[in-house]
Amino acid sequence: MYKYSTNFFGKVPALTFHQFKGIESVITCYNNPSLETMPLLKEVYGINMLITTIKHNYQIYLANLKCKEADIKYLNFLINTTNKVLDKTVDIKLVISQIKEIFNIIKNEKISLMINAASGVFSGSILAYCLLRMSGENRVDALNIITNLRLEKNCRLGEYRYEFAENKLVKKLIEPELITIKNKE
């Protein structure tokens, strides 16, 4: 875990990063960065991938456009329709597919990942939690890392969301790989 404590430019926030276990990529979470600062975030911190949790198509379009201008990979990840309540409408297979896609990118490329949780603090935190668990962090450490990354807003993942992430997502993201490894031995 390392933190840039200096605000290099007036509009660029001080960010904390965590390096994934066994992977060159790093992760940070930030609540509501301005799209106008994305080029500066790339220049100052090397941010080369942004994941948002935006619900509105026009905002997704604008984020994608700004990221293309700055040569930053962009994905939108939205786990549920009501950011504060995980309901039964969550398409688990789609969510798992998206998380695997993101993990493959950060595993195979040197990525400085920023998860923007402006409209989905819990969606962004669940994504960060799953990525950390996939990289080898245990449950407790993954939650502590998220808390440290989100210093600007002391965000707790919440017991229900933690259980949802662990039992519905992480279990399906990690266990098949462990089973495959055990069968090869």
Global pTM value: 0.83
What per-residue confidence (pLDDT) applies to 158?
A: 62
User: 3 Cβ partners below 8 Å, 6+ apart?
Assistant: 14, 15, 16, 17
For residue 115, pLDDT over 80 is answered with yes
pLDDT digits (tens, 9 = 90+) for 16-49: 899 999 999 999 988 777 788 888 889 889 999 9
More confident residue, 49 or 144: 49
- Asked if residue 84 has pLDDT above 70, the reply is no
Instruction: Write phi, then psi, for 76 (nearest 5 degrees).
Output: -110, 130
- Mean pLDDT in residue range 72-79: 88
pLDDT in the model for residue 117: 64
Query: Is residue 65 pLDDT above 60, yes or no?
Result: yes
DSSP string, 119-154: S-HHHHHHHHHHHHHHTT--HHHHHHHHHHHTTTS-
